[in-house]
Amino acid sequence: MGILLVSLLLEALSSPACPDVQSPAIRAEYEITKHTGRFYEILFKDPVEDLCACFVKDREVTDVGLTDADQLFCGMHDAKHFMWVNGTEQNLFNGSSCDGGKGGACGNANFDLVFETPLIKRIHYPNQVIGFGRDAAGAYGGKYVWTVEYQCMEVLGVRDYLGVNIYHRHWDPPAADLAAIQAVIDAAGLSALWNSTKLKPISSSPMCNFTANPR
């Protein structure tokens, strides 16, 4: 844990303020009802998940936003020390992000992410959808095939946290979708993450057995 805290501190001290990476088109076109159902996390930058090999979430719309029922396969060393962990996240509507709380289009695709269980309870993260893949083939009932979500926090003009979470309907996505996701990352000015070990794969471990561990 000490090494992780030092790493986060060094990254924070060398980081600029949070850039605005969400395009007006995403804020205007995002439809929350298309962001429900089962997703697998395929790539991430999130120190909380560094000890996890698999991540599946079931997402539904509620009166307050999106509620995520998460299932992670986490542990240390080898398969004998891994276990499935259930968690809950709330993506609360956040209409105050740019319109004074009026809930207009500029608040769309912006959430207040709150972890409920099991760890880091009640910590809040600003969570923005910065890209999504449309269901052109009709394989998922018209809902989004994949999404790219971005969290950034700063203190006194210096970024102290940066997270990226990329979800897909299938744990092993096709190359064309990965190319489209990379285009979103590039357009957001986050190419350095894609071209480094900072954006890590998840849900691709041979230890993941989603068939044997269904929701």
SS3 40: strand
C-beta separation of 177 from 23 below 8 A: no
Looking at the domain assignment, is residue 149 inside a domain?
Answer: yes
Enumerate residue ranges in the chain where pLDDT < 70: 1-16, 77-79, 95-106, 117-122, 204, 209-215
Which of 31-56 are b and which e, b meaning 16 or more Cβ less than 10 Å from the residue's Cβ? Answer: ebebbbebbbbbbbbbeebeebbbbb
Looking at the domain assignment, is residue 209 inside a domain?
Answer: no
pTM of the model: 0.83
CA dihedral angle for residue 131, residue 137, residue 138, residue 144, rounded to 10 degrees:
-10
Looking at the domain assignment, is residue 211 inside a domain?
Answer: no
Looking at the domain assignment, is residue 117 inside a domain?
Answer: yes
Looking at the domain assignment, is residue 161 inside a domain?
Answer: yes
Domain that holds residue 62: 2-201
Tell me the CATH number at 175.
Answer: 2.40.128.20
Q: What CA–CA distance (Å, rounded) separates 3 from 60?
A: 36
Looking at the domain assignment, is residue 182 inside a domain?
Answer: yes
Give me 200's structure tokens.
């890590």
Looking at the domain assignment, is residue 27 inside a domain?
Answer: yes
Residue in this structure with the two tokens 């230890």, named with its chain if needed: 207
Classify the phi-psi angles of 141: left when phi > 0, otherwise alpha if psi is within -120 to 50, otherwise beta: left
Domain count, the chain: 1
74-132 confidence digits (pLDDT tens):
887 566 778 888 889 999 997 544 444 444 445 799 999 988 766 556 678 899 999 99
Looking at the domain assignment, is residue 210 inside a domain?
Answer: no
